[in-house]
Amino acid sequence: MAEMTYAVSGMTCGHCAASVTEEISKITGVSDVAVDLPTGAVTVTSDAALSEVTVREAVEEAGYELASH
């Protein structure tokens, strides 16, 4: 299992969090997505480490932006 936390900018409501969760959940191997709206932190649990590019594309598909580390 791998767990990574990403910073996502632009999320302001539950619908935002749901959209990001839905898109990231589509990535093969992802077992859990936890969004903390106040901080913009998105914690992703997966079978193996994910490529940041893959996560970035999922976040952008949802209409948001992965902040730089």
pLDDT in tens, 19-45: 999 999 999 999 999 999 999 999 999
Q: What DSSP state is assigned to residue 50?
A: P
Amino acid occupying residue 57: E
CATH number, domain with residue 42 = 3.30.70.100
Domain count, the chain: 1
What range defines the domain where residue 17 resides? 2-66
Six-digit token pair at 61? 């598909």
Query: Average pLDDT of 49-69?
Result: 92
CA angle 7, 5, 67 (to 5 degrees): 20
pTM: 0.93
* Cα–Cα distances in angstroms (integers) from residue 37 to residues 1, 34, 47, in the given order: 24, 10, 24
- The alpha-carbon radius of gyration of the chain (Å, integer) is 11
